[in-house]
Amino acid sequence: MTESSPIRMSIREIAERIEAEVIGDESLEITHTAAMDDAGPGSLTYLKEKSYQKYLPDTQATAVLLKKELSEQCPVTALVVDDPYVAYARVSQLFYPLKEVSPGLHESAVISAEAQISKTAQVGPRAVIEAGVIIGAHCYIGPGCILQAGSRIGDGTRLMANVSIGAGCVLGQRGLIHPGVVIGADGFGFANDQGHWVKIPQIGKVVIGDDVEIGANTCIDCGAVHDTQIGNGVKIDNLVQIGHNVVIGDHSIIVATAAIGGSSIIGGHCAIAGGTGLAGHLELCDGVTVTGMSMVSHSIHSPGIYSSGISVQETRQWRRNHARLHKLDKIIKELKDELRSLKSESE
Look at residue 45 and tell me if it is in a domain: yes
- Residue 3 covered by a domain: no
Residues 283, 182, single domain; the answer is yes
CA distance 165 to 112: 15
Q: Mean pLDDT lowest for which of 10-14, 62-66, 69-73, 275-279?
A: 69-73
Query: What is the distance between the alpha carbons of residues 115 and 130, in angstroms, rounded to a whole number?
Result: 6
- pLDDT at site 192: 97
d(CA 323, CA 318): 9
Domain assignment present for residue 283? The answer is: yes
Alpha carbons 143 and 166: distance in angstroms, whole number: 17
pLDDT computed for residue 37 by the predictor: 85
**Rounded Cα gap, residues 294 and 310, in angstroms:** 9
Q: How confident is the model at residue 178 (pLDDT cuts 50, 70, 90)?
A: very high
Instruction: Name the phi and psi angles at 18, rounded to 5.
Output: -110, 5
- Amino acid identity, residue 43? S
- What is the residue-averaged pLDDT of the chain? 95
Q: Is residue 263 part of a domain?
A: yes
Q: How many structural domains are present in the chain?
A: 3
Based on the fold, state whether residues 91 and 109 are members of the same structural domain.
no
pLDDT tens figures, 98-108: 999 999 999 99
Could you report the per-residue pLDDT of 226-236, keeping only the tens digit for each?
999 999 999 99
- pLDDT tens, residue by residue, 227-265: 999 999 999 999 999 999 999 999 999 999 999 999 999
User: What is the full DSSP assignment across 87-133?
Assistant: HHHHHHHHHSPBPPP--EE-TT-EE-TT-EE-TT-EE-TT-EE-TT-
The answer to whether residue 1 is domain-embedded is no
Q: In which band, very low, low, confident or very high, does the pLDDT at 1 lie, cut at 50, 70 and 90?
A: low
* Cα–Cα distance for residue pair 294/316, rounded to 1 Å: 23
- Does the structure show a pLDDT above 90 at 74? yes
Residue 146 sits in the same domain as residue 38: no
From the list 218, 107, 103, 92, the residue with the least C-alpha distance to 156 is 103
Question: Can you list the alpha helix ranges (DSSP code H) found in 46-95?
Answer: 84-95
Phi first, then psi: give them for residue 12, nearest 5 degrees. Answer: -60, -45
Q: Is the C-alpha dihedral spanning 138, 139, 144, 150 positive or negative?
A: negative
Residue 112 shares a structural domain with residue 37: no
- Say if residue 330 is in the same domain as residue 208: no
CB atoms near residue 18 (< 10 Å): 16
Residue 296: name the closest of 287, 305, 234, 244 by CA. Answer: 305
Q: Give the SS3 label for residue 311.
A: coil
Regarding whether 89 and 108 lie in a shared domain, the answer is no
Q: Catalytic: which of 138, 244, 251, 298?
A: 244
116, part of any domain: yes
3-state secondary structure of 334: helix
Give the tens place of pLDDT for each residue, 113-171. Answer: 999 999 999 999 999 999 999 999 999 999 999 999 999 999 999 999 999 999 999 99
Instruction: State yes or no: is 251 an active-site residue.
Output: no
- Measured CA to CA in angstroms, residue 156 lies from 65, 79, 107 at distances of 30, 32, 22
pLDDT at 4 exceeding the cut of 60: no
| Confidence (pLDDT) at 2 | 64
The enclosing domain of 83 has a CATH number of 3.40.1390.10
CA distances to 20, 110, 158 from 235, rounded to whole Å, are: 27, 30, 14
Q: Which domain covers residue 323, as residue numbers?
A: 316-346
pLDDT (tens digit per residue) in 321-346: 989 989 999 999 999 999 998 888 88
Q: Are strands 32-33 and 63-66 parallel, antiparallel or unpaired?
A: unpaired
Same domain, 50 and 144: no
pLDDT at 196 over 80: yes
pLDDT in tens, 83-99: 999 999 999 999 999 99
Same domain? For 126 and 71 the reply is no
pLDDT of residue 166: 98
For residues 288 and 335, membership in a common domain is answered with no
Which helix or strand (DSSP H or E) is residue 17 part of?
A: helix 11-18
CATH number at residue 269: 2.160.10.10
Q: How far apart are CA 170 and CA 311, in angstroms?
A: 40
Q: Domain check: are 191 and 227 in the same one?
A: yes
Q: Are 215 and 194 in contact (CB under 8 A)?
A: no
